[in-house]
Amino acid sequence: MTPNLSTNIGGIQMKNPVMTASGTFGYGPEYAELVDLNQLGAIVVKGICLNETKGNQTPRTAEAASGLLNAIGLPGPGVAGFVREYMPFLRQYDVPVIVNIWGKTIEEYVEVAARFDSIPGVAGLEVNVSCPNIKEGSALFGTDLKMFERVVKAIRNATRLPLMPKLAPNVADIAEYARCAEACGADAISLINSFPAMSVNIETRRPMLANKTGGLSGPAIKPIALRLVWLAAQAVKIPVVGMGGIASAEDALEFLMVGARAVAVGTASFIHPDTALKVVRGIEQFLAEKNLATVADWVGAFDP
Amino acid sequence: MTPNLSTNIGGIQMKNPVMTASGTFGYGPEYAELVDLNQLGAIVVKGICLNETKGNQTPRTAEAASGLLNAIGLPGPGVAGFVREYMPFLRQYDVPVIVNIWGKTIEEYVEVAARFDSIPGVAGLEVNVSCPNIKEGSALFGTDLKMFERVVKAIRNATRLPLMPKLAPNVADIAEYARCAEACGADAISLINSFPAMSVNIETRRPMLANKTGGLSGPAIKPIALRLVWLAAQAVKIPVVGMGGIASAEDALEFLMVGARAVAVGTASFIHPDTALKVVRGIEQFLAEKNLATVADWVGAFDP
Amino acid sequence: MQLEQAIVISQQPIQGGYSLLHLRSPGIASQVRPGQFVHIKIPRLEECVLRRPFSVFRADGDTLTILYKHVGRGTRGLKDTKLGETLSLIGPLGHGFPSPQKDCFPILVAGGYGMAALYLVAKQSPVKGIAFFGGRSAQDILCVPDFEALGWTVRVATEDGSLGQQGLVTALLDDWLERERTNETPEFFVCGPSGMLKAVASRAIARAWTAWTSVDNNMGCGVGACLTCVLKVKSGEDWTWARACKEGPVFNAADILWEEIE
Amino acid sequence: MQLEQAIVISQQPIQGGYSLLHLRSPGIASQVRPGQFVHIKIPRLEECVLRRPFSVFRADGDTLTILYKHVGRGTRGLKDTKLGETLSLIGPLGHGFPSPQKDCFPILVAGGYGMAALYLVAKQSPVKGIAFFGGRSAQDILCVPDFEALGWTVRVATEDGSLGQQGLVTALLDDWLERERTNETPEFFVCGPSGMLKAVASRAIARAWTAWTSVDNNMGCGVGACLTCVLKVKSGEDWTWARACKEGPVFNAADILWEEIE
Ligand SMILES: Cc1cc2nc3c(=O)[nH]c(=O)nc-3n(C[C@H](O)[C@H](O)[C@H](O)COP(=O)(O)OP(=O)(O)OC[C@H]3O[C@@H](n4cnc5c(N)ncnc54)[C@H](O)[C@@H]3O)c2cc1C
Ligand SMILES: Cc1cc2nc3c(=O)[nH]c(=O)nc-3n(C[C@H](O)[C@H](O)[C@H](O)COP(=O)(O)OP(=O)(O)OC[C@H]3O[C@@H](n4cnc5c(N)ncnc54)[C@H](O)[C@@H]3O)c2cc1C
Ligand SMILES: Cc1cc2nc3c(=O)[nH]c(=O)nc-3n(C[C@H](O)[C@H](O)[C@H](O)COP(=O)(O)O)c2cc1C
Ligand SMILES: Cc1cc2nc3c(=O)[nH]c(=O)nc-3n(C[C@H](O)[C@H](O)[C@H](O)COP(=O)(O)O)c2cc1C
Ligand code: FES
Ligand code: FES
């Protein structure tokens, strides 16, 4: 008997619990020659804000031990550009498209969310809150609980699409943010975003990234991510999408076991573009071996 | 010309800026057959609390990608046991001994600090605040600014020894904690402690550590540590001791470059017990190559 | 573009810190065009999360050859590969060199391993032109006979004078342009360090000649998804980012904002 | 205890997933006592931050031999070492087996690679005793001739019956104790999985015989600093932690809190 891998993330019905992580899979076409997009649980596209943006200067990435540091700086075509250039392509596939959105002010978040509300083919919104609030000072939306609450509430009021705030990992108490998102009406949460970090070069005495600091992703952060996902999953009833260093089916099964109802593959796609599909097949095989009929039977199977 | 490596950390005069990280070098004798202790900048011993403690159940450590997860749980001989069993040994060496202390209540921290005040051969105290406060509820001393302030102030009043709170890394704003320590009269700060994390086993469905979660250390966390040390060093005038994943002289030079006045070698000692000494020699060589007369000429040489 | 499991057929250290690696990779070998590259997962290097990009030097039947310089841990890991071992490749990637125009005189300019990107250009060119190879020393002048065997003329410059003319390859090129150039319009195919690309580009642009430059930007995904490898190109009055792995690595020199390149 | 750069002299795959590794390591080879171990940095495995502990199987002149089972990435990395390559060792480590008492009859009990910790005991024992080797199948019964060459009797049990008596090695031991044992008091030297250690320990303790058991706890530092490898031992009425790497790996079975061991 083939296990049933389907899962529902806050109203987004997925064939299997494996998505691509925002920013690591482009907008879809980049990997389409290598990966059958129809076999993915969902595609989460690179972060989109209102207008076209250029992002950071280069260098934008640097390798670290078992990890990658990035400060791409969210370049992108803006809502209109994205809808025009990529939605026709994405609509060809039978796979939910989750748009990762961001803004520099609450108003911008709201505006972006509102615009997507009417775009056919958009299955849901993931909200990247790891951006500084330009208008109201330097506080970050993702690491200041009050700001987080304001932005999630405001977006909730602006869209009927399934809404999935993506939590920043560098907070003392992740459960607080998870509960806040749930209380504000989010349909799901995802975590973790890459972890604030830095690399430097002692010969040039300069940072390795033009932006000085960046986000650490990849296997290095998996143990950090796993704990945060576990804590978040215990704190809320809405579905949790876990990510951070997932590179194999075993990794994904770990996140599902501690309570994530879906996972996302990020940095690992760079090294093996077909990682997400291998993860799907590996989960299926594991469930079959364990005689589990559905992936839901494994979610939360942790015995702490 | 041989560069002058000596450094002074809040009143602790060191031959060179390289210490051992607490908990990764025992109490001194463990590595004494392999490493000439006199060549270390300072020895920081495993955490000591008031009375003998047994620590966590096993398994206590697990490997992760480029890192180590540990939940040893601070077993130790207590103040009296430590002083009796290890101080006579340590006093034979010409190297500052920094005692890492912890407690379950503010009173216990104070008591431990006060006892060490009169122990000959103790050069200073590093305060591990990554412990839960048993008496006043589950808040952690290290991730709640008010608790942190109370414990540092109370210890400050109890000891004339150089005092070095060791910051917890899992806070949204590290500068806040650094400034708080300085304002409370700390002579130095050290960071980072290992990062809260978790590993699990999908076959047993159990955590890899008996304690469920543990602290991630080693090269995996270096980019995270480096950023936090950089931010902390900018926030205060007191010396900062940087650590987290240091395994080579280059790594140490990175931390010094972003503003640490000394560094500590932790997990890397497990793989190469002589890492700290190699780091000392590598720093010396680098300074000589760059025609820098003192290590102070390199501290903060970062050009961000 | 495909994911292919290539087999190591032979590994051949050549002079001074360079090696040739021959791979059986029929899918990619049959598709590759001049100036394209493959993105290689270095085996065993678990702590490195990125692939490493290498130009396809030669493609013969089902075999690919790359020529690589030993510079760091990735290339060290490549040296450690064993005969018969499987390497994961993505390729062919990127937008390579166009075919040389029939009514122009093709000129290749290469620094160090840059020549690896140019062999297929030389091979597929309808006209046999001239190639200028530069490097720090004789050790860095690679595979000249391969180009000569195709009927191309090769001129060499080394900074230390250990082979060919002493000095930069651009000085050698300048001499040739001044003294030996025929009436045909030159068309440049350039690959090497950015200083060299810039120097050749400025000469070409100044005289309205076409120069195709292959940039050597650090890469993440190699397929256009991560936006690591970008450089600034002209876009009307403004500029826009172009991805070296997708729109490049070969660009018309006239399109690049050279003043932004270090 | 010392840090030594050992040289790989030869690598010898033996049956079913086991290998012998011969290392030139004069400092450690000359110091090692039965039951001690070396802590090995696996080359190239940058993403693994811990060494791996292995018993010293044999020590001959300046040469050490370890016998290892291929179980995971560390032992896979050990298999990938090349002749002449340098391995960083720390050793000899731990508190090994005492010399067998002259007035007792020495009995070795080993499960799988556990016999690697016992060869030097057999070699240095004044009395030739008997050795019981157990394993899942014939593949897991290792180096019997080496022990026989020392004049020891070896009896074998395998769970699948593919070699020797079918069943657990403890059943074989029980038979022998019941039917063949002489009047001398047995003294046990045991190394293997914890279930087996426990079973032998309970037999010995019940009859007030001495059993020396070598435990196979996961290790961090190997030198007593990290407190990873601890197990519970008796301390008067109470218990205390003992470090397998320092106070052990060999413990008097009477001291261990067996009920706490899984
Ligand atoms: C399109 C393209 C084609 C290439 N073709 C070839 C080729 O045919 N032959 C060849 O030898 N090399 C080629 N390179 C460069 C090659 O990718 C790098 O040398 C290699 O990635 C270095 O990996 P490493 O792990 O050994 O070095 P690392 O440890 O990553 O770095 C060692 C040193 O190399 C530098 N470095 C790292 N990445 C690059 C890079 N992409 N370009 C230049 N320097 C870098 C670092 O700054 C550092 O100083 C090409 C690069 C690109 C982008
Ligand atoms: C004192 C001592 C002496 C030893 N002597 C030998 C010996 O002579 N020959 C030999 O083959 N092995 C010996 N071992 C066991 C050996 O250390 C492990 O098999 C090895 O560390 C596994 O490394 P790995 O990276 O290949 O496996 P990993 O990838 O770390 O793990 C693979 C599997 O092995 C298990 N494992 C990991 N560490 C240990 C461990 N310490 N003991 C048992 N299982 C473990 C894991 O749970 C996992 O299931 C000894 C262990 C100790 C503590
Ligand atoms: C190059 C790169 C770009 C990213 N861009 C975005 C982004 O645009 N929006 C976002 O929310 N997260 C972004 N992320 C974070 C990832 O979606 C993911 O949360 C993080 O990388 C952790 O997962 P991983 O370890 O599997 O990569 C990016 C990550 C990388 C490596
Ligand atoms: C096994 C182990 C035990 C530790 N014990 C302590 C401790 O007792 N007190 C403390 O303040 N930090 C302790 N630490 C944290 C280290 O001192 C250090 O802050 C951390 O490991 C980061 O440095 P590293 O990456 O170089 O190991 C311990 C770390 C490890 C790995
Ligand atoms: S390398 Fe990722 S976009 Fe070019
Ligand atoms: S392995 Fe570190 S104390 Fe035993």
Domains in chain C, CATH or no CATH each: 2-93 (2.40.30.10), 104-215 (3.40.50.80)
The ligand with the least distance to the CA atom of A61 is 3
| Average pLDDT of span B154-160 | 96
Scanning chain A, the segments in alpha helix (DSSP H) are: 29-32, 78-85, 87-91, 106-117, 145-158, 174-183, 222-235, 249-257, 268-271, 275-289
Residues 254-273 of B with CB under 8 A from D: 267-273
Percent of chain A clearing pLDDT 70 (strictly above): 97
For residue A137, pLDDT over 70 is answered with no
HEC readout, chain B: CCCECCEEECCEEECCCEEECCCCCCCCHHHHCCCCHHHCCEEECCCECCCCECCCCCCCEEEECCEEEECCCCCECHHHHHHHHCHHHHHCCCCCEEEEECCCCHHHHHHHHHHHHCCCCEEEEEEECCCECCCCCCCECCCCHHHHHHHHHHHHHHCCCCEEEECCCCCCCHHHHHHHHHHCCCCCEEECCCEEEECEECCCCEECCCCCEEEEECHHHHHHHHHHHHHHHHHCCCCEEEECCCCCHHHHHHHHHCCCCEEEECCHHHHCCCHHHHHHHHHHHHHHHCCCCEHHHCCCCCCC
CB atoms A33 and C88 under 8 Å? no
Q: How far, in Å, is the centroid of ligand 6 from the Cα of A195?
A: 31
Whether A49 is a known active-site residue: answer no
Q: Hey, are the CB atoms on D49 and B271 less than 8 Å from each other?
A: yes
Report which of C91, C161, C153 is spatially closest to residue C122, judged by C-alpha positions: C153
Span A232-268, pLDDT tens digits: 999 999 999 999 999 999 999 999 999 999 999 999 9
* Domain around A131: 7-297
For residue A227, the SS3 value is helix
pLDDT of residue B96: 98
Residue B137 predicted with pLDDT over 60 = no
Query: pLDDT digit string (tens) for C218-259?
Result: 999 999 999 999 999 999 999 999 999 999 999 999 999 999
Give D16 or A138, the one with higher predicted confidence. D16
Three-state DSSP class for residue C210: strand
- The verdict on residue A102 lying in a domain is yes
Query: Cα(D174)–Cα(D178) distance, rounded to whole angstroms?
Result: 6
What pLDDT is recorded for position D262?
A: 81
What pLDDT is recorded for position C183? 84
**What spacing in Å lies between the alpha carbon of B93 and ligand 4's midpoint?**
23
Tell me how far apart the alpha carbons of residues C15 and C68 are, in angstroms, rounded to a whole number: 11
pLDDT score for B133:
63
Residue A1 domain flag: no
Spell out which residues line ligand 6, taking CB within 6 angstroms.
Answer: D 219-222, 224-229, 243, 245
Q: What is the pLDDT of residues B17-73, one digit of tens each?
A: 999 999 999 999 999 999 999 999 999 999 999 999 999 999 999 999 999 999 999
pLDDT in tens, C60-83: 999 999 999 999 999 999 998 999
Is there a domain that residue B302 lies in? Answer: no
Does the pTM of the predicted model rise above 0.80? Answer: yes
In chain C, what residues touch B271 (CB-CB under 8 Å)?
Answer: none
Would B304 be classed as within a structural domain? no
**ipTM of this predicted structure:** 0.95
Site to probe by mutation for ligand 5, drawn from C95, C229, C233, C247 as the one with most ligand atoms within 8 Å of Cβ, is: C229
**Atom 23, ligand 2: residue with shortest CA distance:** D74
Cβ-based contacts of A34 with chain C (< 8 Å)? 1-3, 90, 223
Report strand pairing: B240-243 vs B262-265.
parallel
Task: Considering only residues A304 and A139, tell me which one the structure prediction assigns the higher pLDDT.
Answer: A304
**Confidence at A133, pLDDT banded by 50, 70, 90:** low
Which residue does chain B place closest to D240, by CA atoms?
B54
Residue A108 resides in a domain: yes
Confidence band, pLDDT 50/70/90 cuts, at residue A132: low
- pLDDT, tens digit, for every residue of D100-144? 998 899 999 999 999 999 999 999 999 999 999 999 999 999 999
CA D133 to chain centre: 12
* Chain A residue numbers touching D48 (CB-CB < 8 A): none
With cut-offs at 50, 70 and 90, classify the pLDDT of residue A136. low
Atom of ligand 5 at shortest range from CA of C225: 3
Between CA A181 and CA A152 the distance in angstroms is 7
Q: What is the CATH number of the domain that holds B271?
A: 3.20.20.70
Is position B188 within any domain?
yes
Per the prediction, chain B carries an average pLDDT of 95
Pocket lining for ligand 4, CB < 6 angstroms? B 21-24, 46-47, 68, 70, 72, 74, 100, 128, 166, 193-194, 217-218, 221, 243-246, 265-268; D 226
Specify the pLDDT at position A135: 63
Q: Are D104 and D210 in contact, with CB atoms under 8 Å apart?
A: yes
d(CA C215, CA C251): 8
Cβ distance of B26 and D51 shorter than 8 Å: no
Which residues of chain C carry a pLDDT beneath 50?
none
Question: How confident is the prediction for chain A on average, in pLDDT?
Answer: 95
State the pLDDT confidence band at A112, using cuts at 50, 70 and 90: very high
Q: Is residue A304 part of a domain?
A: no
Report chain C residues whose CB lies below 8 A from the CB of D45. Answer: 46
CB-based contact C223 A272, cutoff 8 Å:
no
Which residue, chain included where needed, has tokens 């609030």? A133
Count of domains forming chain B: 1
